[in-house]
Structure 1
Amino acid sequence: MLDYDILRIIWWFLIGILVIGFLITDGLDMGVGILLFIIGKNNIERRIMINSIAPHWDGNQVWLITVGGALFAAWPIVYATLFSNFYIPMIIMLLSLFLRPVGFEYRSKIKDNKWQKICDILISIGSIIPPIIIGLAMGNLLKGIPFYIDKYFRIHSELNFLNLFNKFSIMISITSFIMFINQASTYLQFRINDKYISYRTNIITQISSIMLIIFFILSFINTIFYIKGYKVNTLIENNFNNIINKKEILYSYGFWFSNFQKHYYLLIIPLLCLILPIFTIIFSRYKKKLMTFICSSLTIIFIVCTIGITMFPLIIPSNIMPSHSLTMWNATSSKLTLSIMLYAAIIFIPIILSYTFWCYKKMFFSLTREEIKNNTNNYY
């Protein structure tokens, strides 16, 4: 059986992989929803866009459920703290997600332009809100959450809903929003064969790539220099009795850069977050559609890796009692639980990835206006 600390590190990576899976797959179909009225100038163009994600949008949302389940099992106190602090944003996000299946499934039930436009609006609203909420949550996690744990291990939060909207979290939210748009625009280039839509998606890809570079630089600089970060002085055991009122976790400006200072070679990760969008622009201009999509997906991967390296080993930092911050050392489940989950992950994650790849491969073909018009009853 693996060492307990090794298991903790493995689950840090596995949950990161699940988050990446969600952002790449659900990111592209939510991004399509965001762009629905920007790129789709009429009903037929919006139908083409919607049907480019029709076979996969519901399956992509399973990644979000899987992330929630993995958090609950591997990091139960993180799950409790996260969902209790972000209860209202989570409810808003879930309500917005309810709009998407209504828009998708009922769009084609009534052959009326007004009805279909209403369904398109529902899809668009349900796609706009989640990336904003995800960005707000990530921004506030980096700033730290005002919570503490009492001697009975009860979580006490002082977070106010309005306090979620601060300059830094709004900046991260905009970055998240642009990332989803960028992913969707590259996917639409790859999936749709229509000169008008392709022209607009090419422009959106280039603009969003430039904006992603700008906002990533601003976010990274603000994270390093303008908000207080955290640094773990010593490894913390899986027991809150050992950390309450102690000073193992330091809290000051510049500490979010400490992992990069210790290992300078890790700076290649945020550097790739700047280089890959440039290649996205280049490949988009030369109509290398597959490479454009791959570069956009890799950008998401390295953005998540940058956040992971920045915060490691912190998961949820506390800005009122830093010593009560949740880390991968003090917030994990038992060794037995992590071991059983690892065996399940070894079996099922490759199956899920293989099945997802197979579905995209089998249902991939270029959508055209003629295809939609000639098979009206077979599409949304």
Structure 2
Amino acid sequence: MILNQLIDFDVLRVIWWVLLGVLLTGFALTDGFDMGVGALLPFVGRNDVERRVAINTIGPVWEGNQVWFILGGGAIFAAWPPLYSASFSGFYLAMFAVLAAFILRPVGFKYRSKRDSATWRNCWDWALFVGGAVPALIFGVAMGNVLQGVPFRFDDDLRIFYEGTFFGLLNPFALLAGVVSLMMLVTHGAAWLNLKTEGAVRDRARAIGSITSLITIVAYILAGVWLAKGIVGYQVTLPAVADGPSNPLYKDAVQAGSWLSAYAVRPWIAVAPVVGILGGLLTFLGLRAGREVSTLLFSKLSIIGVVSSVGLTMFPFILPSTIDPRSSLTVWDSSSSHQTLFVMLVAAVIFVPIILAYTSWVYKVLWGKVTEADVKANSESVY
């Protein structure tokens, strides 16, 4: 009763939907440039010193940045259990590939400089490339499949059955979404190197980032057109009670129309794709002009716009089902209990500001450029 008086169940559900978006966006903003630098590593560094310069820009911060990935996964597990179950069942092999790539990253950082061998270090540099490029691509592919719907269903006992295949996830639209994600994070990595390095590494990062920023914009617009013309959206015909029990089968839903019909109902959400495209253009101009801090901020703005446009377009759907639209998960019928969401919110209010404060302090302490002179003077360092 006290909990009901503090925050209503339907409000808590929306709050946690927003928080999930914030956590996933935070992961893209922070660990995104780590993955981007990893994907750029073989191309911005022509020799060992240059590659060590790039690695040292992210070496001290990448572990802290992954906190957002852990928080996002934890939030899905605790706040949206059916979403966690359905998505990990359907994307199991894809998630395994992401985790395998992420495992290569710390191993690459720690083992790369253990031997003074060009062959040894080159192999670990490509491992770091895989650790950056593969997750960036797969996250986008996953998002493309979420927009199309996933082949799962619930039976009357709320057991989840996934009826798709791994290769079914590699469809053209999902791969296009993967290109958007990969190019967006490579651009973010280039903006980071533009800020943190100088000389040849910075110049190459700017040149590559200028190209990938334009590819991101074009691919994002193409995906939007495809979404409007070639992807069937989802609609709730018998809405679930917003403050009722979490049972997806209490509603009715159908595949009909277009996802973009949401912009006619909620015109204000158009700000998200506009911000995504405008941020990308400003990132391109910033890289060409050699601006540093503002370029990284514009890159972050573009990521916020692109990621939030997906959630705002799909609301209230979180994970649609292609074989049984009624089983689709929405904000109103796939959350944990009222008490669980409230207790988690209290924990989030306490600990997220602490994480933000600590992260801000770390970046303040580590502010400044990594130069070739620094790397040569510390030849025995971990990175």
Moved more, 310-319 or 262-271: 262-271
In the aligned structure 1, how far is the partner of 2:268 from the partner of 2:340? 34
1:241 Cα shift?
6.1
Q: Which residue of 2 aligns with 1:3?
A: 8
How far apart are 1:24 and its partner, in Å?
Answer: 1.0
Give the C-alpha shift of residue 232 in structure 1.
Answer: 2.3
1:69 — aligned with what?
74
The letter for the 2-side match of 1:34 is A
Task: Give the secondary structure class of the aligned counterpart of 1:250.
Answer: strand
Code of the aligned partner of 1:14: L
CA contact (8 A) 2:113 2:382 kept: yes
Q: Deviations over 1:109-132 (max 9, x none)?
A: 222222211221211111121112
Find 2:357's aligned residue among 354, 357, 365.
354
> Which stretch of structure 1 is more off in the superposition, 168-177 or 100-109?
100-109
Q: CA deviation at 1:360?
A: 1.1
Distance 1:242 1:227, change over 3 A: closer
**CA distance in structure 2 between the aligned counterparts of 1:176 and 1:52, rounded to whole angstroms:** 22
Tell me by how many angstroms 1:106 deviates.
1.2
Aligned residue in 1 for 2:213: 209
Partner of 2:348: 345
Cα distance in 1 for partners of 2:237, 2:304 equals 28
Q: Distance in 2 between matches of 1:64 and 1:97?
A: 11
The reply on whether 1:236 has 2:237 as its aligned counterpart is no
State the match for 1:222 in structure 2: 226
Displacement of 1:242: 7.3
Which secondary structure state, in structure 2, belongs to the residue aligned with residue 295 of structure 1?
A: helix
Structure 1 residue corresponding to 2:374, chosen from 366, 371, 375: 371
Give yes or no for the alignment of 1:329 onto 2:345. Answer: no
Q: How does 1:42-121 map to 2 (within 5 A)?
A: 42-121=47-126
Give the AA of the match of 1:65: I
**2:35 alignment partner AA:** M
CA distance 1:227–1:92, change in 2 (3 Å): same
1:231 aligned partner, one-letter code: Q
Task: Tell me: CA distance 1:379–1:366, structure 2 relative to 1, closer, same or farther (3 Å).
Answer: farther
Alignment partner of 1:307 is 2:310: yes
- State the Cα distance separating 1:34 from its structure 2 match: 0.5
1:193-208 matches, cutoff 5 A: 193=198, 195-208=199-212
Task: Assess, with a 3 A threshold, how the Cα gap between structure 1 residues 122 and 129 changes in structure 2: closer, same or farther.
Answer: same
- Identify which of 258, 261, 272 aligns with 2:261: 258
Give, in angstroms, the shift of residue 253 of structure 1. 3.4
Q: Kindly provide the amino acid, as one letter, of the partner of residue 263 in structure 2.
A: F
Separation (CA, whole Å) in 1 of partners of 2:133 and 2:266: 37
Instruction: Give the drift of 1:357.
Output: 1.3
Q: Counterparts of 2:247 and 2:360 in 1: how far apart (Å)?
A: 46
Whether the aligned pair in 2 keeps the contact of 1:231 and 1:258 (CA below 8 Å) is no
Paired residue total: 376
- Contact 1:171 1:219 (C-alpha < 8 Å) held by counterparts: yes
Q: Deviations over 1:80-118 (max 9, x none)?
A: 111011111111111111111111011122222222112
Instruction: Provide the rounded CA distance (Å) in 1 between the counterparts of 2:143 and 2:195.
Output: 29
- Counterpart of 2:200, as a letter, is Y
- Structure 1 CA distance, aligned partners of 2:200 and 2:160? 53
Runs of 4+ in 1 over 6 A off after TM superposition: none
Deviations 1:289-323 (A, max 9, x none): 00000000110011111001111010110011111
- TM-score norm. by structure 2 comes to 0.95
Question: What secondary structure is seen at the aligned counterpart in 2 of 1:151?
Answer: coil
**Letter in structure 2 aligned against 1:196:** A
Give the 5 Å matches for 1:170-189. Answer: 170-189=175-194
Q: What amino acid does structure 2 have at the position aligned with 1:268?
A: V
Q: Give the distance between the partners of 1:296 and 1:202, measured in 2 at CA.
A: 13
Contact 1:135/1:176 (<8 A) preserved: yes
Residue 16 (1) aligns with residue 21 (2): yes
What is the aligned-residue identity percentage? 40
Residue 46 (structure 1) shift:
0.5
Q: Deviations over 1:212-252 (max 9, x none)?
A: 110010111111221111122453134466736x6x32312
Cα distance in 2 for residues equivalent to 1:179 and 1:144: 23
- Give ranges in structure 2 of 5+ residues lacking alignment: 1-5
Q: Counterparts of 2:271 and 2:132 in 1: how far apart (Å)? A: 32
How far has the Cα of 1:136 moved from its partner?
1.4
Moved more, 343-352 or 57-66: 57-66
Q: Which amino acid aligns with 2:214?
A: I
Distance in structure 2 (CA, Å) of the matches to 1:234 and 1:260: 21
For 1:178, what is the secondary structure of its paired residue?
helix
Instruction: Read off the aligned partner of 1:206 and give its amino acid letter.
Output: S
- What TM-score do you get using the length of structure 1 for normalisation? 0.96
